[in-house]
Amino acid sequence: MTTLDTAADGAPAATGGAAAGGPGLAQERRLVTPIPGPRSQELLDRKAAAVAAGVGHAAPIAAVAAGGGVVVDADGNSLIDLGSGIAVTSVGNAHPKVVEAVQRQAASFTHTCFMVSPYEGYVAVAEALNRLTPGDFPKKSALFNSGAEAVENAVKIARKATGRQAVVAFDHAYHGRTNLTMALTAKSMPYKSGFGPFASEVYRAPMSYPYRDGLTGPAAAAKALSLIEKQVGADNLAAVIIEPIQGEGGFIVPAEGFLAAISEWCTANGVVLIADEVQSGFARTGAMFASEHFGLVPDLVTTAKGIAGGLPLAAVTGRAEIMDAAHVGGLGGTYGGNPIACAAALASIDAFETEGLVERAAELGEILLGRMRALQAEDPRVGDVRGLGAMVAIELVDPATHAPAPALAGAVAKRCIAQGVVVLTCGTYGNVLRFLPPLSIGDALLHEGLDVVAAALAAEAAA
Ligand SMILES: *Cc1c(COP(=O)(O)O)cnc(C)c1O
């Protein structure tokens, strides 16, 4: 893996304008001003004046270039990237294959609308998704622009295929910010509060959460399925939607046997099982899809985020007979499967398959889990360490009561960013620090980033 471990150095620091990014950027943490520096602050002031307040930001910087494992800001600071723009730039920012494919496609044509004049890139992405997603039955795909749009369409398809209306989602679930996906998402603040009324016929079941429910997978599934049978009824239920590893909800990995039991019940009752792999898909967890870790073969899979190296693209893929249930003209959208996004997806999929990125995610996971378990051993505020591959999180708690410690998580993340490491929080209780490095990060840089996390946690104890 030397090409990934030792990114080329010597590239000049970007200091504004159209800076060259990609793996050629100097792979270093470099602070030349406080965060935010004056140029970043200037942009943040313009943002505050021009951009709706509801659109927040985690790192107070003005990004001008990114690649390998770093994000460079307008002041010349180089920050270690442990977020990948929320699990999107898994192949690495400005990956050379993606850049080349995007440039070539943009010069050829930028849009025809696939529903007006179809083109090959869209079909090739569908073929790749049909091949790569779990299950060796005939599959079909449809392409969209965002994860939320993919989830909305998966539900539409499941309803049409079953002739039923109800949908079950789980505690701690995150499925997006559009109206139906807000209804599916569990957490009120900030995702739903004040934005109702929400779509109807959405029901919530308890999720397996080993750290907090203490249940085995089968016991947690029995609890969920009993609730579904009593409060919804299988005859009314079109789909069960679940993230095989929950993302925004706190990187919750269900106990062994939970997903299998839910899946079996869905099959027995004619309910479409939708795996939302928007965050966990595309090599992120050390498998092409997280479902594979659990032997889960969903009927439909939703994908987005890591699919296209940063370009907006999303998909629903699944059993051909279910996907074909919607009538002609019932699915689509003006931009869905944009040719430039498809070119980027094909280049990204090529990178995942030929550059050993699935294996690299597993290696990064060993580093992440090893470091975080060592931290947990010496700091009881690290209540839980969980995740798979390059999707790892720590849950911070009060050592005495295990009550969530969101203020601590927020303070540690803030301190990390000030020290040049982009770390994101998540979790229903806001007390989870999550690590989602680009798979193009080198070992040394990852270790340095985690050193900063450990120091920030220690500093918060002293504070
Ligand atoms: C991010 C996310 C979504 C929504 O994707 P957008 O592209 O932001 O609409 C849906 N499901 C999961 C699991 C996600 O992580």
pLDDT digits (tens, 9 = 90+) for 146-169: 999 999 999 999 999 999 999 999
Pick from 19, 137, 120, 6: nearest CA to 72? 19
CA gyration radius, the chain: 22
Residue 27: domain span? 1-81
CB-side neighbour CA atoms (13 Å) of 327: 0
- The answer on 235 and 296 residing in a single domain is yes
Q: Which pLDDT tens digit goes with each residue over 174-218?
A: 999 999 999 999 999 999 999 999 999 999 999 999 999 999 999
Instruction: List pLDDT tens digits, range 296-325.
Output: 999 999 999 999 999 999 999 999 999 999
Q: Decide whether any atom of ligand 1 lies within 6 Å of the 395 Cβ.
A: no
Contact 404, 389 (CB under 8 A): no
Q: CB count, 10 Å around CB of 458?
A: 14
Give dist(CA 116, CA 45) in Å, integer.
Answer: 42
What DSSP letter does each residue of 394-452 carry, written as one string? EEEB-TTT--B-HHHHHHHHHHHHHTTEE-EEESTTS-EEEE---TT--HHHHHHHHHH
Q: Which of 354, 377, 406 is the last residue of a domain?
A: 354
Confidence band of 421 (pLDDT split at 50, 70, 90): very high
User: Helix 339-354 crosses helix 357-378 at what angle (to 10 degrees)?
Assistant: 70
Instruction: Measure 154 CA to ligand 1 centroid, in angstroms.
Output: 13
Residue 59 lies in a domain: yes
Q: How far apart are the first and last CA of the chain?
A: 40
| Ligand 1 geometric centre to CA of 83 (Å) | 14
Q: What percent of the chain has pLDDT over 90?
A: 95
Cβ distance 204 to 232 under 8 Å?
no
Q: Decide whether any atom of ligand 1 lies within 6 Å of the 429 Cβ.
A: no
CB 32 within 8 A of CB 76: yes
> How far does Cα 187 stand from its chain's mean position?
17
The last residue of one of the domains, among 309, 333, 354, is: 354
Q: Both 247 and 334 in a single domain?
A: yes
Q: Are residues 270 and 369 in the same domain?
A: no
Q: Any idea of the CA torsion for 18, 335, 282, 368, to the nearest 10 degrees?
A: 50
Question: What is the chain's mean pLDDT, rounded?
Answer: 95
- Please tell me the distance from the alpha carbon of residue 388 to that of residue 73, in angstroms, as a whole number: 30
- Residues 120 and 133 grouped into a single domain: yes
Q: Which two tokens stand for residue 164?
A: 């039923």
Per-residue pLDDT at 456 exceeds 60: yes
* Among candidate residues 75, 77, 85, the one with its CA nearest the CA of residue 25: 77
- My answer on whether 170 and 260 are in the same domain is yes
Establish if 92 belongs to a structural domain.
Answer: no
**Using 50, 70 and 90 to split pLDDT, how confident is the model at 461?**
confident
Pocket test for ligand 1, best of 278, 280, 316 (most atoms within 8 A of CB): 278
Nearest-angstrom CA–CA distance, 201 and 261: 23
Specify whether 207 is located in the same domain as 332: yes
Q: What is the pLDDT of residue 213?
A: 97
Asked if residue 12 has pLDDT above 90, the reply is no
| Residue 7 predicted with pLDDT over 80 | no
42: how many CB neighbours lie within 10 A of its CB?
A: 14
Residue count of the chain, please give it: 463
Of the residues 317, 333, 354, the one at which a domain ends: 354
What integer is the mean pLDDT of 372-401?
98
| Coil, strand or helix at 53 | coil
pLDDT score of 19: 77
Q: For residue 248, what are the CA distances in angstroms to 245, 279, 283, 348, 390? A: 10, 9, 18, 24, 15
β-bridge partners, 143: 315
CATH number at 55 reads: 3.90.1150.10
What is the 8-class DSSP label of residue 30? B
Question: Scanning the structure block, which residue is given the tokens 């051909």?
Answer: 320
Is residue 274 assigned to a domain?
yes
173 CB near ligand 1 (under 6 Å) = no
179: domain CATH number is 3.40.640.10
> What confidence score (pLDDT) does residue 9 get?
39
Q: The sheet that has 432-435: what strands, in order across it?
A: 382-388, 391-396, 432-435, 424-426
Which whole number is the average pLDDT over 226-250? 98
- Give the tens place of pLDDT for each residue, 104-151: 999 999 999 999 999 999 999 999 999 999 999 999 999 999 999 999
Cα four-point dihedral sign 295, 299, 305, 309: positive
Residue 233 placed within a domain: yes
CA of residue 247 to ligand 1 center, whole Å: 9
Work out the burial of residue 260: count CB atoms within 10 Å of its CB; fewer than 13 is exposed, 13-18 middle, 19 or more buried: middle
Whether the CB of 76 sits within 6 Å of ligand 1: no
**Pair (272, 386) in one structural domain:** no
User: Do residues 66 and 205 both lie within one domain?
Assistant: no
Instruction: Determine the atom of ligand 1 nearest the C-alpha atom of 305.
Output: 7
pLDDT tens profile 319-361? 999 999 999 999 999 999 999 999 999 999 999 999 999 999 9
Are 183 and 322 in the same domain?
A: yes
Residue 368 lies inside a defined structural domain of this protein? yes
C-alpha dihedral over 305, 426, 421, 210, to 10 degrees? -100
Distance of alpha carbon 397 from its chain centroid, rounded?
A: 24
CB 373 within 8 A of CB 421: no
Check pocket membership of 249 for ligand 1, CB cut-off 6 A: no
* Beta bridge partner(s), residue 404: 397
Q: Are residues 255 and 401 in the same domain?
A: no
Q: Do 243 and 309 fall within a single domain?
A: yes
Alpha-carbon distance of 101 to 165, in angstroms, equals 41
User: Is the distance from the beta carbon of residue 146 to the nearest atom of ligand 1 less than 6 Å?
Assistant: yes
User: Considering the domain boundaries, does residue 90 fall inside one?
Assistant: no
Instruction: Give the residue whose CA is nearest to atom 8 of ligand 1.
Output: 147
Q: How many domains does the chain have?
A: 3
Q: Is the CB of 13 under 6 A from ligand 1?
A: no
Asked if residue 297 and residue 371 are part of one domain, the reply reads: no
CB 148 near ligand 1, within 6 Å: yes
CA–CA separation, 365 vs 102, rounded Å? 30
What's the mean pLDDT in 89-99?
98
Give the pLDDT of residue 215.
Answer: 98
Residue 11 pLDDT: 37
6 confidence band (pLDDT: 50, 70, 90): very low
Residue 135: predicted pLDDT: 98
- In this prediction, residue 4 carries a pLDDT of 34
What distance in Å separates the CA atoms of residue 328 and residue 412, rounded to the nearest whole number? 51
Q: Flag whether 86 is in a domain.
A: no
Given ligand 1 and candidates 55, 172, 174, which is best to mutate, with the most ligand atoms within 8 Å of its CB?
174
* Ligand 1 atom, smallest distance to 151 CA: 10
Distance CA 107, CA 460 (A): 51
Distance CA 429, CA 187 (A): 9
Q: Is the Cβ atom of 281 under 6 angstroms away from ligand 1? A: no
CA of 411 to the centre of ligand 1 (A): 25
Give me ligand 1 centre to Cα 459, in Å. Answer: 33
Asked whether residue 267 is assigned to any structural domain, the reply reads yes
Q: Is the pLDDT of residue 231 over 50?
A: yes
